[in-house]
Homo-oligomer: A and B are copies of this chain.
Amino acid sequence: MSGIWGKNIKFSIFGESHGKGIGIVIDGIKPGLKLDEEYIKFEMSRRAPGKNSFSTPRNEADSFQILSGIFNEYTTGAPLCAFIENTNQHSKDYGKLKDLMRPSHADYPGFIKYEGFNDYRGGGHFSGRLTAALVFAGAVCKQILSKDNIKIGSHILSIGNVKDSYFDKVNVQFETLDLLNKSEFPVLDENISEMMKSEILKAKEDLDSIGGIVETAVINLNAGLGSPFFDSVESNLAHILFSVPAVKGVEFGEGFDISKMRGSEANDEYYIEDGKVKTYTNNNGGILGGITNGMPIILRTAFKPTPSISQNQRTIDISRMEDAELEVKGRHDPCIVLRAVPVVEAVTAMAIVDLLYEK
């Protein structure tokens, strides 16, 4: 049981890839927020499949209806439920997969956990398609945050071994993040995008897939958000980031590399500028003792290559309990990292609103 997340605002997700649809209930949203549905549509289009040759061919409109919680365009304070109908699924295609556990998918652990009753079509409730509901919720949360000028932006830090520049952790600019939000292929170093695309296409040609890393910044947060002992900002962000399918690593500030540093190098020394407390460096990624210090939050999320590939793979037949082979025909999404960018931002926005609502 874990379809619900949040402490001060709660998100309750439901749905399956090939059922009637997917949705989310947002409970605890404050009244009086004028919802910009066009903005939500734009955010959802960032995640939507089928836009270009780098992503999955499944062409789903991802149009949502808001079932409750809105009156005369404003949030009422009552639970807001959004529903995204499934329209383009081909359930028959999945019948033959029923007993063949796709490697590195949730098929096998899901079969065990749900005793064989899980909806196996397209991953069912485990499907990456559920992230559409997260992007809806994230778009609502981003609107809440924008009232306080809080901005979240991400870029593709790497695809395979091709790497973009890092954010300037001390001076991430609002305009930079805003441009990234609107970019079709968000990177900091313009020259890198063609190399990344080529990396993706090469994987595609090989009937394979490729992983990558997303780097995210959150700016204009006040100091004092988050709580010891168990609700550090890192804890909350990592919790929801690791709920996103395919995420295998999360780090903040210098992350794993800070382990190589000396304290004299890693410590972020303070100074005062224009009456505001700042740090010369930001190796801690804006979080100390689990609490924001007013500097930008910087985090990185590692995505594994999507396990859906068209190559022949060794697996098992779960009903016969014997070894088997699997070859899934059809075009797969060779790289989910591009489409993961708005999802990472969405769950980050959800977590930040949850922290803000604690006040």
Contacts and interface: CB of A to CB of B under 8 A. Distances in A.
Nearest to A285: B248
B71 A270 contact: no
A80 interface: yes
A25 B232 CA distance: 20
Copies in the complex: 4
A235 to B, nearest CB: 4
A82 to B, nearest CB: 10
Nearest to A203: B262
A193 interface: no
A213 B271 CA distance: 30
B79 A67 contact: no
A195 interface: no
B67 A83 contact: yes
B304 A259 contact: yes
A31 B104 contact: no
Q: Please classify the interface of chain A as helix (H, G, I), strand (E, B), loop, or mixed, using the class held by over half of its residues.
A: mixed
Given A4-B230, A20-B65, A263-B305, A321 B253 contact: no
B238 A284 contact: no
Contact of A251 (B206, B231, B250): B250
Nearest to A80: B14
Nearest to A332: B263
A101 interface: yes
Contacts of A283: 104, 304
Interface of A: 1-5, 7-16, 19-23, 25, 27-28, 31-32, 65-71, 74-81, 83, 101, 103-106, 108-110, 112-115, 117-119, 123-126, 130, 158, 160-161, 203, 206, 208-213, 222-232, 234-236, 238-243, 245, 247-256, 258-272, 275, 277, 279-280, 283-285, 288-293, 300, 302-309, 311, 313-316, 321-323, 358
21 contacts: A11-B230, A13-B229, A31-B115, A71-B117, A71-B124, A78-B114, A78-B124, A104-B268, A104-B283, A108-B277, A113-B226, A211-B258, A211-B260, A228-B243, A248-B254, A250-B250, A251-B256, A259-B304, A262-B305, A266-B307, A277-B316
